[in-house]
Structure 1
Amino acid sequence: MEKALTGKVKTTYVENVPESADAERVIRQLAADGNKIIFTTSFGFMNPTLKVAQSFPNTDFAHATGYKMAKNVAIYQARSWEGAYMLGVLAGKMTKSNILGFVGSYPVPEVIRNIDAYTLGAQSVNPKIKTKVIWVSSWYDPARERQAAETMIAQGADVLSQNTDSPAVIQTAEEKGVYAFGWDSDMAKFGPKAQLVASTLNWSRYYTDSVKQVLAGTWKPTDTLWGMKEGMVVLTPLSSAVPPAVAKLFNEKKQAIIDGKLMPFAGPIKDQAGIVKVATGAVMPLKELMSLNFYVQGVEGSIPK
């Protein structure tokens, strides 16, 4: 965004902000400093963003992965479940044990969607798979992520995925000789043999478009949901460990999602109890998908309360 708008913008960022009262303090300070648009980039920043926005009606705000909007608060997020589904396709083809592992951060709809999509993608090519989930109650905690990965590997999982941001899962997979996936960033350098592919997020077009609108005085709060088609969900090149036939299938399914021909949450979908949640020929409505709170059949365990 800075490169696209060279000379037109000045940016400020604050890192490692806890999802607590500190968030409101930091957001309020950014607004008081005169920033014209403020992007708050974690689920737990939603309510602090709304609160500060009330005090600064002439400042624009955009919150990532939230569901509450206001006159000067937009929301934006990625269809990250498209990437998770594609990782599942690869996992379903590459597993030998038919046991997959998933390291979860917090049991919010965003993460549950990715667990379910990962499982559905795997089931689309291998109906025998089961997915084990361990929650670590953090977006970034290398020690707990490593412990979770080691536990699932000990339980037979030979392909791991995650909805956390450290490379600990990839590093553990590399050490233990199993496969894993990069999440939110390319983690191949941490596990060159382990990483089969990474599902990454490229927010640059959204940030650039938003700031252009602020500069032009045309910005309005919108609910933006972009995926592979829009270039927000980006899959890295496949590992050479992926056989050509599997790579061909992977790329066909990827293109089908981009073309709108493959919907990851298309029926039939059953929950763990075998109750049909999405009938054959139907697609889960977006409103239901965005508030998803159940595991699909094939995921073991229960969602923490």
Structure 2
Amino acid sequence: MLNRFGIILLCLLLLGACGETKSSGKLQKVGLLVPETINDQVWGTKGFKGLLKIQTNFNVDVFYKERMNSEVDVERAVEEFDQKGVNLIFGHGSEYAEYFNNISKKYPQIHFVSFNGDAKAPNTTSLNFKAHAMGFFGGMVAAHMSKRHKVGVLAAYEWQPEIEGFYQGAMAENKQTNVTIEYVGNWDDEKKALQLVNHMLENEVDVVYPAGDGFNVPVIEKVKEHGVYAIGYVSDQSDLGESTVLTSTIQQVDSLYEKIAEQYNDGNLKSGNLSFDFQDNVISLGKYSPLVSKEFIGKMNMHIEKYKETGMLPK
């Protein structure tokens, strides 16, 4: 019997209705490649929801493939998508930028979209969330709610702008806050992430920001066991425990995918690297825990609105 990964790699799943598509513009059919799974409840799931939004709003056939984590796999998938008539492909991660730069010349009729990379070819675009402010506001909430004045960031990589943002936000809210930062070195290494968060908890960190979509759910569950707090990451994670998750730093990938599809359909999608922030309504803070006072929530809302209007963060 094939294992479930083998089945995922072999199966191209058609989500849309069969037959002629009805998009009134340039968009014909859409493909999505994800490095792991659409069922992770965080990053992959967000991309899949974006694909479904495109299917519904543009009435086009959409396809996806999982476990696309090598250039060979991506080349095969793109060839299959091309045969299906796909002309807009989303690669749901930074690794796809280089893959798409290399193969896009073979498919001038397809526009390739990736995340957090460097798009160099004329028919490639990279989408970048400007995550510094997102982390900043998360850091403010963490420092405000920390009883021990000890908060921790569990990041995947050092280059993530939300990490420095979180530190600066915590300092802006309370200069007495001690911020511990640890790096997993991988988006999906749950074992190492749990080891690092255990070390933080042993050192009396009482608010943890797990900034990695592949390990943040188990980390939040571990934090919950210890009766301390967390800041959710990428999606609204209040459903993991409203007495644990103080708020979440949300990247609304599904809304951004819909926006990009609309731009492509209208013939307005630019090549190169595009950046998005709170002002574009694709980054936000999520639902607040009832433990966070209404007064402080009001203060946060004012800071966020000022940032959206002026680009200035609190000092």
Pick from 283, 299, 309: which aligns with 1:249?
Answer: 299
Query: What do residues 57-107 of structure 1 show as CA deviations (whole Å, max 9, x unaligned)?
Result: 221011111123320001112122221111100111111222211111123
Does the Cα contact within 8 Å between 1:93 and 1:125 map onto a contact in 2?
yes
1:158 CA drift (Å)? 0.9
1:114 aligns with 2:114: no
Secondary structure at 1:259 match in 2: helix
How many pairs are equivalent? 261
The answer on 1:147 being equivalent to 2:198 is no
- Contact 2:242/2:290 (8 A) holds in 1: no
2:312 alignment partner AA? L
Q: Please give the residue correspondences for 1:107-186 in structure 2 after superposition, counting only pairs within 5 Å.
A: 107=158, 109=159, 111=160, 113-165=161-213, 166=215, 167-186=217-236
The alignment partner of 1:13 has SS state of strand
CA shift in 2, pair 1:221/1:129, >3 Å? same
What do residues 223-243 of structure 1 show as CA deviations (whole Å, max 9, x unaligned)? 321111211102112111112
Greater fraction helix: 2
Give the alignment's TM-score, normalised by structure 2. Answer: 0.75
After superposition, where does 1:2-151 map in structure 2 within 5 Å?
A: 2=54, 5-7=57-59, 9-18=60-69, 21-107=72-158, 109=159, 111=160, 113-151=161-199
Cα distance between partner residues in 2 of 1:96 and 1:209: 41
Equivalent position to 1:200, from 220, 233, 250: 250
Q: 1:232-276, CA deviations, whole angstroms, 9 ceiling, x for partnerless residues?
A: 102112111112332232222122212225237x8xxxxxxxxxx
Letter in 2 for 1:196: L
Shift of 1:20: 5.9
What is the rounded CA distance, in whole Å, between the counterparts of 1:170 and 1:146 in structure 2? Answer: 10
Change (3 A) 1:80 1:31: farther
Q: Secondary structure at the match of 2:275?
A: strand
Which residue in the other structure is 1:221 paired with?
A: 271
Counterpart of 1:234, as a letter, is: S
CA contact (8 A) 2:130 2:276 kept: yes
Unaligned runs of 5+ in 1: 267-305
Q: Deviations over 1:98-146 (max 9, x none)?
A: 2211111123x2x1x1111000001001112222122222212333322
Q: Give the 4+ runs in structure 1 shifted more than 6 A.
A: none
Distance 1:147 1:231, change over 3 A: same
Identity of aligned residues (%): 20
Aligned partner of 1:283 in structure 2 is none
Residues 26 and 147 from structure 1, CA distance in 2 versus in 1: closer, same or farther, beyond 3 angstroms?
farther
Q: 1:95 to 1:194 in 2, by over 3 A?
A: same
Instruction: Give the CA deviation at 1:203.
Output: 2.7
RMSD: 2.2
| Pair 1:27–1:122, CA change in 2 (3 A) | farther
Tell whether the 8 Å contact from 1:181 to 1:195 is kept in structure 2 after alignment: yes
Structure 1 pair 131/23, CA: closer, same or farther in 2 (3 Å)? farther
Give the unaligned 5+ runs of structure 2.
1-52
Give the conservation status (yes or no) of the 8 Å contact 1:173–1:191: no
- How far did 1:182 drift? 0.9
**Alpha-carbon distance in 2 for matches of 1:135, 1:10:** 40
Counterpart contact for 1:31–1:38, Cα < 8 Å: no
Quote the residue 2:282 is aligned against. 232
Secondary structure at the counterpart of residue 76 of structure 1: strand
Aligned-partner Cα distance in 1 for 2:150–2:287: 24
Deviation at 1:40, TM superposition (A): 1.0
Q: Secondary structure at the match of 1:220?
A: coil
Structure 2 residue identity aligned to 1:56: Y
Cα distance in 1 for residues equivalent to 2:71 and 2:191: 22
Q: Residue 217 of structure 1: CA displacement?
A: 4.2
2:64 partner SS: coil
